[in-house]
Amino acid sequence: MVGPAVAQEAAAQAQPQPGPEEAVGGTVPGAALGTTSDADFWRQIRRGVSGVSQQTHQAGGRLIQSSGDNWRAVRNGPVSRYGVWLLIGAVALLAVFFALRGRIRIEHGPAGTTIERFAPIERVAHWLTAGSFVILAITGLNLLYGRYVLPPVIGKEAFAAITLAGKWAHNWVAFAFMVGLVMIFVLWVVHNIPSRVDLKWFAQGGGLFSKGVHPPARKFNGGQKIVFWATILGGASLSLSGWALLDPFTTTMFADTFAALNLVGFSLPTDLSPMDEQQLAQIWHTVVALVMIGIILAHIYIGSIGMEGAFAAMGSGQVDLNWAREHHSLWVDEVLEKERDRQHGHAQPAE
């Protein structure tokens, strides 16, 4: 985009540089660019050519960068607008689902006996990820939308104080989220490898849409595997782009990613300036966060009011045996078989 201007600048710099005393009408003030005319000089500034200014900031010595205007228009325009529709759409869909299907009950009624679903370490990992995600989501949404909603209600001063605290929390809580993410990946990845059982689960809509339908599942069903991989991949992408925003002008993630994508047929720009990198990181971070919040709203719904007996899995770690048989029959068989083997193994030495 700036190629010709850069070439022009390089050519200008190759010229013998007149000293300030030799500067005549039409040459650049201070003669920094040799015989470049005033018009060319200002044009280069307007085009955002790096190095025109003497300042050596990491952003690359640009005085004007028009892509900043485009970035702001995209952030405050389509990204914010479609983000609102996405979140309202997710809540509306869940409300319609609740109105039509109601709370999914344990059809055979509670058995009264329980089975351990998640060990304490798994629950710590889940709540670390979940708690930090909720804080990040609320403080992040405030950064995007707060200014439109809160100042008229609580006043500018209070909004400024809340947003400053929220920004600080957002920066630091991000690390707790990353730790939680690594923990749930390590603990659950083996249970989330896609399998043929998932196809059958999806074919029956997971039994979510009709009573009396309970497709078999192991520890995690097909829908949960989607939530798992969305959390891991979306979370990793949020972490990386968030890192780029926390430590500005130090990464070339987008240029590197675009170069890799170009190898498989894309033709994306790879001569990105440090400022372009920041702007892309901000847009990507926001889009991924909004999509993830939409998915997690559905997850929170089904893990709490949407399904009788589900919350206990992450609350006490113990679930009702009938709930487990209805939603994770193959997993129950595996656990009971292991339990039998264990008892058998313990009993053997005594025999």
Task: Give the binding site for ligand HEM (CB under 6 A).
Answer: 117, 126, 129-130, 133-134, 184, 220, 224, 227-228, 231, 296, 299-300, 303-304, 310-311, 313-314
CB of 129 to ligand HEM, least distance (A): 5
Closest CA to 142 of 179, 175, 169: 169
Least Å from the CB of residue 94 to ligand HEM: 13
Phi, then psi, of 104 in degrees rounded to 5: -75, 115
In whole angstroms, give the CA distance from residue 307 to residue 304: 6
Smaller CB separation from ligand HEM, 40 or 308: 308
Note whether 241 and 253 are within 8 A (CB): yes
Q: Which residue is nearest to ligand HEM (CB)?
A: 303
Of 133, 168, 138, 136, nearest to 150 (Cα)? 138
Tell me how far, at minimum, the Cβ of 164 lies from ligand HEM, in Å: 24
In angstroms, give the least distance from the CB of 146 to ligand HEM: 20
Distance of alpha carbon 149 from alpha carbon 136, whole angstroms: 18
Smallest gap from Cβ 221 to ligand HEM, in A, equals: 8
Min dist CB 187 to ligand HEM, Å, is: 10
Q: Which lies closer to ligand HEM via its Cβ, residue 126 or residue 285?
A: 126
**Can you read off the two tokens belonging to residue 64?**
């004007």
Provide DSSP, 249-312: T---HHHHHHHHHHHTT--------HHHHHHHHHHHHHHHHHHHHHHHHHHHHHHTTTBTTTHH
Closer residue to ligand HEM, CB minimum distance, 28 or 313? 313
Complex with ligand HEM: residue 169 or 300, whichever CB lies closer? 300
* Axis-axis angle for helices 38-46, 3-14 (nearest 10): 140
Identity of the residue, 275 or 321, whose beta carbon is nearer to ligand HEM in the bound complex? 321
Quick one: 63 or 233, whose CB is closer to ligand HEM?
233
